[in-house]
Amino acid sequence: MIYSLYIINKAGGLVYQRDFAEQLEKLSSNDYLVLAGTFHGVHAITSKISPVPSSSGIEVLEAETFKLICTQTLTGTKFLLVTDPQHQNVEVLQKKVYDLYSNFVMKNPFHTPEMPIRSDQFDAGLTKLISEA
């Protein structure tokens, strides 16, 4: 089950946030911005404190009530998917989310890069994708 999706730009700003289920706490939009910034910083540090050389940043965060999967694109945008702790095959879903992002956000001539995403088609595509998953 997918709980929510966050998209963080390369500077650590939250550009998209959407909940698909009620399991997580509802926070104010300011809190979500703070959390995104925190995660961005932690992601950078986790590759520095690795006990073995050349580690990536945080990829999966496990908590008792949820699991957070982070994929970073080559341009530095981070897609965070929050799922239930037992969820499998998130990679497939991540790829589909990225497809939607490329099609309806990046190809949108009115979209300003690194700015919050406002696209009805992206929203609709996500709703369809998550309901099928």
Distances (CA, A) of 71 to 30, 53, 58, 84: 23, 20, 9, 17
Choose between 27 and 106: whose C-beta lies nearer to other proteins.
27
CA distances from 23 to 2, 38, 52, 95, 126 (A): 10, 21, 36, 24, 18
Q: Could you give the CA distance from residue 70 to residue 11 in angstroms, rounded to a whole number?
A: 16
Nearer to other proteins (CB atom), residue 25 or residue 120: 25
Residue in 128, 85, 131, 75 with CA at minimum distance from that of residue 104? 128
Helix/strand/coil for 52: coil
CB of 108 to other proteins, least distance (A): 29
Q: How far is the CB of 104 from other proteins (least distance, A)?
A: 27
Binding stretches for other proteins (CB under 8 A):
24-25, 27, 31, 35, 38-39, 41-42, 45-66, 82
Q: 42 vs 115, which CB is nearer to other proteins?
A: 42
Q: Measured from the CB atom, is 55 or 102 closer to other proteins?
A: 55
- Shortest Cβ 15–other proteins spacing (Å): 18
Cβ 23 to other proteins, closest distance in Å? Answer: 8
